[in-house]
Amino acid sequence: MRALDMNIKGEVVAMLGFAGAAVTLWLGMMWAPSVSISAFKAPEAQRIFYWHVPSAWAAMIAFGLLFVGSIYWFFKRSDWAWRLHVASSEAGLATGLMCVWSGCIWGAAEWGVPWDWTDVRLNTFAILTLLSLYLVMGRRSQPDGVETRDTFAAFGMFGFALVPLTYIATRLWQIRHPGPVVATSEGSLNSDMSIVLFLGAISFTTLTVGYVMAGMRLTKLEMRLEELQGQYEERMR
């Protein structure tokens, strides 16, 4: 029983995060104050920010873990690092899609267009999400082995260069995406808004960490299954 408890730790953490995300969404939509109607064309659409910003934050954490897993696999050849790579690329894809999708909805309402190909922040973030999709789908198309792991770990490592670029993009080139509103000297966030946003950040982080833990366990089981299949085939010869 104790072993079972240990094994589903990731799922429990993910469920807690999921519950927190649901509460954040409810608070963001129903409780948080509205923004000034003079500052936005579509002030109500701004509420999607409580989903968009925490998912972007969680995606950055997932991409960071992806980088750690990739680099550690590359230099140490550790199965643990590969499992981290696998799980965090999936988490990065899920959270990245949440962020891009919510951003498009807000963009369509506020700017009149869902996307701008000249905005550096939008594009670098989308590329990071596509990189995760590439890693997830590419890995499923290949037999597991050192060649597969090396190739995708290399993409994971070099792709990480986009993370700092995405982070500083709105500071260097503010084309369409709004600049930072948290932890800046402008301090434009109302305290109630900050509470919901903070809860969102915690919840999405918890969800991502739980997903990565569960994903790593699942990958370990898959690897074990493959090993057992190999042993079975060896014995059948």
Partner 1 sequence: MMGIIELSEATVLRGRSKVLDKWSISVNSGDIVCLAGENGCGKSTVIETASGLIPLENGSATISEQLVRDSEGRRGRPTFGLCLQDDCVMGDELVGERILDAAGFDFDVEGLLKTWGLDHRIHDRIAMLSGGQRRKVALLSGLIPAMISQTPVAVLLDEPDSGLDDDSIKKLADTLRNLAAGGHAILVSSHDSRIIEVSHRVIRFPYEEEEFTQDDGKFTPIKKGNPRKSSVGHRLNLRTLSGLANNGIAGLLTLGAMLALLDPSQLEGRILNAFILAPALTAGLCGNPIHRLSLENRAYAWWSTKSAIPQNAIIHSLILCGGLTLLASAITSELNLELILAGAILGAATEAVVGLLSNATLRLARPNAVMIRLLTPILILPWALVVDTLTA
Task: Write out the residues near partner 1 by the rule CB under 8 A.
Answer: 77, 117-118, 120, 123-124, 126-127, 130-131, 133-134, 137-138, 141-148, 150-151, 154-155
Q: Which CB sits closer to partner 1, 23 or 165?
A: 165
Checking 222-228 for CB contacts under 8 A at 24+ apart, the result is 223/79, 223/83, 223/144, 226/144
- First and final C-alpha spacing in the chain: 38
171 residue type, one letter = R
Identity of the residue, 44 or 226, whose beta carbon is nearer to partner 1 in the bound complex: 226
Residue 73 DSSP SS3:
helix
CB of 133 to partner 1, least distance (A): 6
The CA–CA distances, whole Å, from 40 to 25, 106, 143, 147, 216 equal: 21, 11, 50, 50, 42
Q: Which is nearer to partner 1, 145 or 187 (CB)?
A: 145
- CB-based contact 88:219 (threshold 8 Å): no
By beta-carbon proximity to partner 1, the closer residue of 151 and 194 is 151
User: Closest approach of Cβ 178 to partner 1, in Å?
Assistant: 19
Taking the complex as a whole, the smallest distance from the CB of residue 77 to partner 1 amounts, in Å, to 7
